[in-house]
């Protein structure tokens, strides 16, 4: 089961031109060889996906080629530093092969030491561009029969420790997970809320989701949407660009398959609703039962806006449901304050906007105003701390 924990760096060791990053394992399961982990890259918005290279007792080790700002920041870590690690993720290799032969080259050999240990030391063929790169072959278990395109066995650097790629049961250390930088702290009914878009798949990572005080789904539209063609996300030095395009399974499949699984998490659910006319929104709201609140996504820069006005959509939804309604407004409107007042009059329990536009970098949330939907008293916007956080434009809301 994937876990997200903050783990300490045990060592950062050079292996030819690569770097072996050793982290304490804690309660993280090393998983099956070939699966990967998301490692927090200091100073970068996006974590880096890395396959596990070695899994000695109490440790997780990753072989990294520092080819960009993210991997360079990981290689610059020092003993005692701590980063968030999330995994294992993805599909691992088959381990039921009768006569396995492992073939790899360059940084592509990263998952092979762990795999070789699990397959009981099969023969391995490796290729490298230089003798210095071939030093990574020393990470393979010593019992493996190794052949390199550069040499029969690549020598390790003087004094370098030869790793035994042993596996051991994960420790019972409790998770120390915290919400990601995209989590939103609210001094109100919830303390930690996390939007699914670009941040977390609650179904694939239930242990992480259960540590939250509320979970907001990706925006649901009446019909399924594949979203925009990849690439959808690009990291920049100033933030992140994206064009997701409201990818979602559609209302019927969401209600039949996704929502029941999300209810099993045992956390309050906020359902984000989208559409292209007031009736689209209202029909989805009417079909939602036993949820904490509904977000009306009235501002998605990657799709055409609904033909009806924001106030008309809110009014239709207010008639269709008694659930609390939260309206996310478009920052492109010339008079956002007038729109906020209109949706409040139409029945919205809260409104906010994201100061973003099409093809804009990461934006900051800007409060418009709200009242507590679970109290008869009005209250000032609970967004003060959230407005200081950098948020991804893919986020359906930022409260």
Query: What does the CA dihedral 286, 288, 289, 292 come to, rounded to 10 degrees?
Result: -120
HSE (side-chain half, CA atoms, 13 Å) at 83: 27
Rounded to the nearest 5°, which phi and psi values hold at 306? -65, 145
Any domain includes 399: no
Instruction: Give the residue from 157, 111, 151, 113 showing the smallest Cα distance to 131.
Output: 151
Instruction: Supply the DSSP string of 209-234, one letter for each residue.
Output: HTTSSEEEPPPB-SS-B--SPSP-EE
Whether 135 and 207 map to the same domain: the answer is no
Any domain includes 206: yes
Tell me: pLDDT of 93 over 60: yes
Higher-confidence position of 259 and 180: 259
* Radius of gyration (C-alpha) of the chain in whole angstroms: 24
In this structure, what CATH number is given to the domain that contains residue 4? Answer: 2.40.30.10
Whether 54 and 167 map to the same domain: the answer is yes
DSSP state of 161: P
Query: Would you state the pLDDT for residue 368?
Result: 41
pLDDT in tens, 333-369: 778 888 889 999 999 998 876 545 444 444 444 434 4
In this structure, what CATH number is given to the domain that contains residue 357? Answer: 3.20.20.70
Whether 64 and 196 map to the same domain: the answer is no
DSSP state of 174: P
Q: How many CB atoms lie within 10 A of CB 66?
A: 15
Q: Which of 152, 172, 192 is the last residue of a domain?
A: 172
Whether 212 and 353 map to the same domain: the answer is yes
How far apart are alpha carbons 201 and 191 in whole angstroms?
20
Any domain includes 398: no
Whether 161 and 192 map to the same domain: the answer is no
Number of structural domains (the chain) is 2
pLDDT in tens, 285-303: 999 999 999 999 988 665 6
Rounded to the nearest 5°, which phi and psi values hold at 5? -135, 155
Task: Read off the pLDDT of each residue in 202-208 and give the average, rounded to a whole number.
Answer: 73
How far apart are alpha carbons 250 and 242 in whole angstroms?
21
Task: Read off the pLDDT of each residue in 253-276 and give the average, rounded to a whole number.
Answer: 92
**Any idea which residue has 């089961």 for tokens?**
1
Whether 149 and 3 map to the same domain: the answer is yes
Q: How many CB atoms lie within 10 A of CB 15?
A: 21
Whether 231 and 368 map to the same domain: the answer is yes
CA distances from 393 to 88, 232, 337, 350, 363 (A): 27, 11, 21, 20, 6
SS3 per residue for 82-116: EEEEEEEECCCCCCCCCCCCEEEEHHHHCCHHHHH
Question: Is the separation of the CB atoms in 199 and 393 below 8 Å?
Answer: no
pLDDT in tens, 234-246: 877 767 777 888 8
Q: The domain containing residue 309 runs over which residues? A: 184-391
Structure tokens at 270: 């906020």
Task: Read off the pLDDT of each residue in 123-131 and give the average, rounded to a whole number.
Answer: 87
């Amino acid at each position: 089961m994937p876990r997200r924990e903050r783990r300490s760096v045990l060592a950062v060791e050079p292996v030819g031109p690569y770097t072996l990053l050793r982290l304490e394992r804690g309660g993280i399961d090393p998983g099956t060889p070939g699966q990967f982990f998301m490692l927090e890259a200091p100073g970068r918005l996006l974590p880096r996906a890395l396959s596990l290279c070695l899994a000695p007792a109490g440790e997780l080790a990753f072989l990294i080629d520092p080819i960009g700002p993210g991997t360079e920041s990981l290689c610059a870590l020092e003993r005692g530093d701590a980063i968030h690690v999330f995994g294992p993720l993805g599909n691992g290799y088959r381990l039921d092969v009768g006569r396995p032969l492992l073939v790899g080259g360059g940084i592509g050999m990263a998952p092979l030491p762990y795999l070789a240990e699990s397959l009981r030391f099969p023969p391995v063929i490796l290729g490298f561009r230089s003798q210095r790169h071939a030093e990574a072959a020393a990470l393979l278990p010593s019992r493996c029969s190794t052949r390199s395109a550069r040499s029969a066995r690549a020598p390790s650097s003087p004094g370098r420790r030869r790793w035994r790629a042993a596996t051991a049961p994960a420790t019972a250390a409790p998770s120390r997970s915290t919400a990601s930088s995209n989590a939103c702290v609210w001094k109100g009914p919830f303390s930690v809320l996390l939007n699914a878009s670009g941040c977390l798949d609650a179904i694939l990572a239930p242990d992480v989701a259960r540590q939250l005080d509320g979970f907001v789904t990706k925006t649901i539209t009446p019909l399924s949407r594949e979203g925009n063609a990849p690439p959808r996300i690009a990291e920049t030095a100033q933030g992140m660009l994206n064009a997701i395009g409201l990818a979602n399974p559609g209302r019927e499949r969401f209600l039949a398959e996704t929502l029941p699984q999300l209810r099993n998490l045992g956390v309050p659910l906020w359902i984000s609703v989208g559409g292209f006319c007031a009736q689209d929104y209202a029909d989805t709201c009417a079909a939602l039962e036993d949820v904490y609140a509904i977000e009306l996504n009235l501002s998605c820069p990657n799709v055409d806006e609904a033909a009806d006005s924001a106030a008309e959509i809110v009014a239709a939804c207010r008639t269709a449901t008694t659930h609390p309604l939260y309206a996310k407004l478009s920052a492109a409107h010339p008079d956002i304050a007038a729109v906020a007042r209109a949706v409040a009059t139409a029945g919205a329990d809260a409104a906010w906007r994201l100061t973003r536009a099409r093809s804009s970098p990461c934006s900051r949330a800007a409060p418009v105003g709200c009242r507590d939907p679970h109290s008869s008293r009005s209250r000032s916007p609970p967004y003060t701390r959230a407005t200081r956080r950098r948020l991804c434009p893919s986020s359906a809301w930022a409260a």
